[in-house]
Structure 1
């Protein structure tokens, strides 16, 4: 860990802020100006005991999605910790209810990753349906011997049905992009969108998830991970898909039963998949990794320079607002996800 920064010119004690991973250089510099910051110079995930020690020594913790913070850890945090300012929108790695019970507020950075993740969703849809990785592999291996009428045939997007599972900010951004490609947009969501929003997105609501899955050609998972969405796409529901269907997930890996998906991809019961997130984090099923009809990415959906900078700026605003005695603008309330 790096040493604390120097006192502020005003003489007012600055809050001790522990950052668990390296952030963009400009963001770290700005945080060091404003707060008494301690950075993780190694940029490796903190062990459980290191995280507890960090929570015991700071007033504000800035974790990321790689940091699992449960009720037992929060119970050991001590009285100093008052705010967990998460670097990222997803908060399923944090026990929000336990934090609030101990008087610890939690904030996140919603909305920042919307456009970048929607872009990546479309990239995966294109990559799988047009077989881009297979073409790249041919070229890199020097196995391309010229154009042929029947070689590397993928599928046309225009006219296909896209089923969006989860029609929040990112789902709607995907719908806007999909319409430009000529895809017919269907969606399933806890609540139906307003009629004017549906019309603007050219989207058709499916009250029944099962019925939507049976009809669409492409499924885009854009739902958060909650107890209600865990394995929402289980083996039974995956079997409803056409054998020509494609599954794309840029949201949370736990929404899909990964073992069932792998079995069906291997058996040809699903045509392909594009995955940026996985059920067990970075531990990827080797059978899934070996499949030629699957595009796997290392959680790159929000990985843009602009997105990371905006994320850091939101973290700073949340901390500064809290330090000034006000409610953080991105305060997370138990049950809101």
Structure 2
């Protein structure tokens, strides 16, 4: 496959670039190949003018291209820059960056990593769309751009060809999603394996949001419910069971659970069951059916379906990949 036929990815960088975000795009897209081992993407980096672009570290990045290559882009990725973290800069777009984005052809896919979402928003590309950014900046993004539906709980969004991701590492999830959308799960999973990252991460960034630790004099009612669920993870548990343990109504439990964990009670429980099953597969020799019972799935079939749905592999394949040497059978 020659360069002209490859999907053209262009990364638009600015002064104060976070180098890791640029590396993510280059590493993941250039790793994607077809069944014959031929590259599926061509990735190039541009700035508003060629030359050395300073980063947020003690190194600079030599950028060979100016904004003219944006005219050839099928996908444009805008990483974060230091200025995105400065309140006085947010809501204002450098005229040269605005002119560069105006060169992107109609129909090209636009994506941002972390606070690069402020650039897309300032250029009007997030108007009427769902978007996200780093959880520390979501409230400000929503306040500055009320026409954007900001979702602080997800790792990335995809709204009709305009995509945004949460923090730096969520750029990995975003790029894998785009590769998966372009060429299917098999290609995306191969890229994930080569990069030694999960092909899909369960949950969103809500789990990383800083929350005040409950005071001992005012413990969270859901803490008792969560502790009970973990102690009885192998048993069938209902919302009524958890609400009863917390001493509050099902409605109140659901509201507080979402606020404290970023998930509904049953979604949280499903994640805990999966994590428990994974630990057992990694660290014990238990048969799959026993692991399923101990994790609360009831049957091996139910657990296999869950593993396929979330992880894209069977429990047996997962164990083969992640088995801890010296595992025991307690």
Question: TM-score, normalised on structure 2?
Answer: 0.31
State the structure with bigger RCO (CA 8 A, min sep 6), 1 or 2. Answer: 1
Q: Which has the higher helix share?
A: 2
Question: TM-score, normalised on structure 1?
Answer: 0.31
